[in-house]
Chain A
């Protein structure tokens, strides 16, 4: 007798894009309904008011809108940094550490030579140092992978902890005041190494830089020879070798690029907005970026949408906890439910579930 499993899953053929987006919209709507029910049961609040507060928290004032854009820019920057590596099927989980090393490089330049060189030269040095630091942090696991085929997932992950410890060490070296365990804002009065404000807006420069980088990465991945090579390596290493692609070189090259872009993220955080160095500066965005990149299927343009969604949820969640005096975990629950539905719907878009049909049992 043929054994048919109760449930079996097959890959879907290409789904029409209108239908795919309809499914996504329904998923979001369903998530909102479920969140609404849970909100009412757990807190007795009117869910419409809760959603209104979320939207207010993200878009309510021009300042909130700018902060939203800034946070999207930083998350997007780290996500487009990871995308080429992931397209190559190189699991770079070290985005946090690579960005942190970039931040360390920028902060070190500001602290050590902030008052010794003119500002334009200082900023130039910061750019070079942080890009090199990020690239180095990604280059080490890439080199080991290319040379001895070490496991890049573990290696890049471990490098995060090394980076955090390095930063923790230098925070103590540069702490102000003594014993406080924090650096505070670097060059708060001289503003040495602070990026200039464009158009009187604190965050505009970061947004512009990340927008340009996003377009460049999109072009690099889709319309250049190197971008094609890394896709081939990702699809199948033997094929890549067969057509004459130098796999080792592609791995190292792509990871250097990935790390350099992560370094830029750190640079933008230290030079552009935060002007400080802490172990939590990057705040797990190297991991959130993995989700952003995956959800967008490594397409930098879609990543704009997915990073917007995640940042919106984060900022909205903070707002509802403050407005309604709830514990922060409640915001996390709401965010979790919405993400669950979105990721779940991606599964159903890619796979089809077949149930065993009852009448076949009889035969």
Chain B
């Protein structure tokens, strides 16, 4: 018995001593060595977080960083004080670049940034960096609405194929969409997707339902099933679990995914997906840190930077000619011939939009502060990276807006 105590005491002591030794990254001659930390809201079971985790690993490993030594990933950090604590924990691990992936993490990253000015705190989808004036806090996002639009074209082509085959009439070309919150990022996403679909299938309509959670597999599955029962013939989603894709696979209804391909789980219904590729942004930030340069307050990735990407096209489900139609539209988007939110393509309550003040600078009163309509189109993600398109356009029915 006594020996046992001694051994366990020794073990504990040994553990404590080795625990005190933290890895200190070596300064390299040519520049600052990057030590990077990623904070995720959920884990790899969420398509949204999985996309960040994969991109982060890819960017870090490409420059020789090692997980657990020079880069770290923490998952399941809620949108609360836990985020601040984990950000500071990353600092204690030696990180000089900390990235948080969820919208609700923003305020806590700001708190951390105020406390440790020598570390760069970057945050996806946030809105406050351009007004807070904190040198080491940055927002970033991408023109994902262009990716959504292109994915929407694939949806429209599929609807056309169904109409031509006589499966549905032109009037029955109804899309169902599972959204998370009635928030600008989601509204911008489903509207651009719908405009893409309608650009090739003029009779298309859409129904949207909201779950009130960024990730909840059961809710998303139920929402998709409800839409399918409501005679939606094609589904897409802005919610982060596999709920909608698996519901579609079970019901045999085609699905357009987000955040990454869901082909493996839904080989008979997955058509295409759009996602933000974060590798270019991670590279940009880490290059800046290595070179000791300032990082932009608000970074917006585009198709040209490689930030907006479409996932693999499932030829077995997609309509013929989809790849060509997408390529053509993509070229037009890049050279500026085509704008997703072209005012001639949509109306709000029957009238065309001529001018719109958006809430670009976040405040508690939701004050509309910036004119975002010019040259015949709505300038999305130009005055800040995070989307601010929140118009309810005709042709889309919101089944609920409670959240």
Q: Please indicate whether A and B come from the same complex rather than being unrelated chains.
A: yes
Question: Which residues of chain A have a CB within 8 Å of any CB of chain B?
Answer: 22, 25-26, 28-29, 32, 48-49, 51-57, 59-61, 63-64, 67, 172, 176-182, 184-185, 188, 269, 273-274, 276, 278, 280-281, 283, 318-319, 321-325, 327-328
Question: B91, B92, B108, B359 — which one has the most chain A CB atoms within 10 A of its CB?
Answer: B92
CB-CB contacts below 8 Å: B1-49 with A:
1, 4-5, 8, 11, 14-16, 18-20, 22, 43-44
Q: Does B51 interact with chain A (Cβ within 8 Å)?
A: no
The residue that A179 contacts in the complex, of B67, B107, B184, with Cβ under 8 A, is B184
Interface 1/0 per residue, B364-379 and A, CB below 8 Å: 1010000000000000
Instruction: Check B212–A181 contact: CB distance below 8 A.
Output: yes
Q: Does B313 interact with chain A (Cβ within 8 Å)?
A: no
Question: B5, B67, B78, B81 — which one has the most chain A CB atoms within 10 A of its CB?
Answer: B81
Instruction: Check B22–A56 contact: CB distance below 8 A.
Output: yes
Instruction: Check A322–B104 contact: CB distance below 8 A.
Output: no
Q: Which residue of A lies closest to B85 (CB)?
A: A67
Chain A residues closer than 8 Å to B15, beta-carbon distance: 48, 51-52, 55
* Shortest distance between the CB of A16 and any CB in chain B (Å): 15
- Name the segment of B69-77, B230-238, B331-339 touching the other chain: B69-77
Q: A26 vs B6: C-alpha distance in the bound complex, in angstroms?
A: 11
Q: Is the interface of A mostly helix, strand, loop or mixed?
A: helix
Q: A324 vs B359: C-alpha distance in the bound complex, in angstroms?
A: 42
* Shortest distance between the CB of A232 and any CB in chain B (Å): 41
Q: A52 vs B16: C-alpha distance in the bound complex, in angstroms?
A: 6
Q: Does B106 interact with chain A (Cβ within 8 Å)?
A: yes
Question: Which residues of chain B have a CB within 8 Å of any CB of chain A?
Answer: 1, 4-5, 8, 11, 14-16, 18-20, 22, 43-44, 67-68, 72-76, 78-81, 85-86, 88-89, 91-93, 103-104, 106-108, 110-111, 127, 181-184, 186-187, 212, 359, 362-364, 366, 390, 403
Chain A residues closer than 8 Å to B22, beta-carbon distance: 56, 60-61
Instruction: Check A64–B79 contact: CB distance below 8 A.
Output: no
Chain B residues closer than 8 Å to A324, beta-carbon distance: 68
The residue that B8 contacts in the complex, of A32, A67, A177, with Cβ under 8 A, is A32
Instruction: Check B73–A278 contact: CB distance below 8 A.
Output: no
The residue that B78 contacts in the complex, of A55, A56, A280, with Cβ under 8 A, is A280
Given known A-B contacts A52-B15, A53-B19, A184-B107, A328 and B8 have beta carbons under 8 A apart: no
Q: A276 vs B107: C-alpha distance in the bound complex, in angstroms?
A: 10
Instruction: Check B4–A26 contact: CB distance below 8 A.
Output: yes
Chain B residues closer than 8 Å to A51, beta-carbon distance: 11, 15
**What are 19 A-to-B residue pairs whose CB atoms are below 8 Å?**
A25-B5, A29-B4, A56-B20, A60-B92, A64-B92, A67-B88, A172-B403, A177-B363, A178-B390, A179-B181, A184-B104, A184-B107, A185-B110, A188-B110, A276-B107, A278-B80, A281-B80, A323-B68, A325-B73
